[in-house]
């Protein structure tokens, strides 16, 4: 991915190194958080008990470089979505903030940890990202590469686009009125649409900036596969259960990412009216 020497976004809040957990340390804390994430256990009392205070840590050279990369990708999403959202949806694009953090953080949507992965909070219109997640993608999920990381950021910005168009609010209201199975299906539709929007960004980034290099889309497709619900459940030692999926299968995520990339059209990303996801 060609990103060096490009404009970075001013909408970055870098909180890395602020508030790393004390006590058993950040690594131990993340182990407990990961257990809670995979098995559906509320571990917040344990985490609160482990916190022995916070400390400021200096960012490494690699951390600084990753921060620059994230800033450039966010700037590219701003350049892409401002005209696309205006021209295709008649909606003015409001640039989101992106918060880089280490370990755990509080947002308008509540507390969160890096074990949950990157997320978007509509309450404050911010994307939250622990850049260590990209190392986990590469080392544990087999989904490394700078464009794989860019896809993750573009996906979360896709949720911001959904928020601006009113889709996210409508879905969240509907999910509170339906069964768990139907709520999960609505969640899957939402996530797949965000994947499709990430594909639109990838296409536009290539057309506008010549961003893509050989193998970049393959990196993004591998990342989409790695975060499929069926793959995550299998890697956790569980049999995939489609009714419990909240983000979509690996194949679904790849399909909708590719659909956005090939079409460049928000109208082709309407997962809510699709007869087959």
The Cβ-side half-sphere exposure at 106, using a 13 Å CA radius, reads 2
Phi, psi of 228 (to 5 degrees): -65, 145
Mean pLDDT of 69-83: 97
Residue 50: the pLDDT is 41
* 47 band by pLDDT with thresholds 50, 70 and 90: very low
Range 60-82 average pLDDT: 95
Give the largest CA-CA distance in the chain: 52
Please determine, for residue 104, whether its predicted confidence score (pLDDT) is greater than 80: yes
Which pLDDT does position 234 carry in this prediction?
94
- Specify the pLDDT at position 28: 46
* Lowest-pLDDT range of 17-21, 22-26, 84-88, 194-198: 22-26
Helix, strand and coil percent figures for the chain, each rounded to 5:
60, 10, 30
Mean pLDDT of all residues in 183-199: 97
State the Cα–Cα distance between residues 48 and 63, nearest whole angstrom.
27
What's the rounded mean pLDDT across residues 150-175? 97
Reading the block at residue 26, the tokens are 């950040």
- The residue-averaged pLDDT of 138-151 equals 93
Bridge partners (DSSP) listed for residue 105 = 112
CA distances from residue 95 to 108, 127, 151, 208, 277 in whole angstroms, order as listed: 17, 11, 18, 19, 29
Strands, E assignment, 122-238: 126-129
The model's pLDDT over 230-268, given as tens digits with 9 standing for 90+, comes to 999 999 999 999 999 999 999 999 999 999 999 999 999
Tell me, what's the pLDDT at 55?
55
∠ CA(255), CA(261), CA(264), 5° rounding? 125
Say what percent of the chain tops pLDDT 70: 86
Query: Minimal CA–CA distance to 165: which of 233, 88, 227, 98?
Result: 88
pTM for the predicted model, two decimal places: 0.86
Residue whose pair of structure tokens reads 């809670």 in the numeric block: 36
For residues 153 and 139, give the distance between their C-alpha atoms in angstroms, rounded to a whole number.
Answer: 18
Nearest CA among 100, 107, 138, 140 for reference residue 123: 107
* 18-42 mean pLDDT: 44
Residue 180 and residue 244: Cα distance in Å, rounded? 9
pLDDT tens, position by position, 12-28: 999 997 754 443 344 44
Please check the confidence at residue 108 and state whether its pLDDT lies above 90: yes
Decide if pLDDT at 83 tops 80: yes
Instruction: Determine the pLDDT at residue 182.
Output: 95
DSSP label of 64: H
Alpha carbon distance 268, 260 (integer Å):
7
């Amino acid at each position: 991915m060609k990103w060096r020497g490009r404009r970075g976004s001013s909408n970055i809040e870098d909180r890395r190194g602020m508030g790393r957990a004390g006590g058993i340390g950040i690594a131990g804390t993340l182990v407990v958080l990961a257990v809670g994430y995979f098995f559906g256990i509320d571990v917040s009392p344990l985490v609160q008990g482990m916190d022995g205070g916070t400390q400021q840590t200096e960012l490494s050279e690699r951390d600084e470089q990753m921060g620059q990369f994230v800033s450039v990708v966010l700037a590219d999403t701003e350049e892409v979505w401002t005209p696309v959202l205006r021209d295709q949806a008649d909606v003015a694009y409001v640039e989101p903030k992106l918060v880089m953090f280490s370990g755990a953080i509080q947002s308008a949507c509540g507390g969160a940890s890096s074990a949950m992965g990157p997320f978007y909070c509509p309450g404050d219109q911010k994307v939250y990202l622990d850049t260590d997640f990209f190392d986990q993608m590469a080392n544990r999920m087999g989904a490394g590469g700078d464009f794989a990381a860019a896809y993750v950021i573009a996906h979360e910005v896709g949720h911001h686009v959904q928020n601006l168009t009113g889709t996210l609010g409508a879905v969240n209201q509907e999910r509170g009125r339906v069964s768990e199975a139907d709520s999960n299906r609505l969640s899957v539709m939402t996530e797949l649409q965000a994947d499709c929007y990430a594909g639109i960004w990838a296409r536009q980034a290539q057309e506008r900036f010549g961003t893509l290099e050989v193998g970049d889309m393959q990196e993004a497709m591998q990342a989409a596969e790695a975060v499929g619900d069926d793959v995550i459940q299998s890697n956790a030692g569980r049999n995939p259960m489609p009714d419990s999926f909240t983000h979509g299968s690996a194949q679904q995520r790849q399909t909708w990412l590719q659909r956005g990339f090939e079409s460049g059209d928000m109208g082709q990303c309407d997962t809510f009216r699709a007869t087959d996801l």
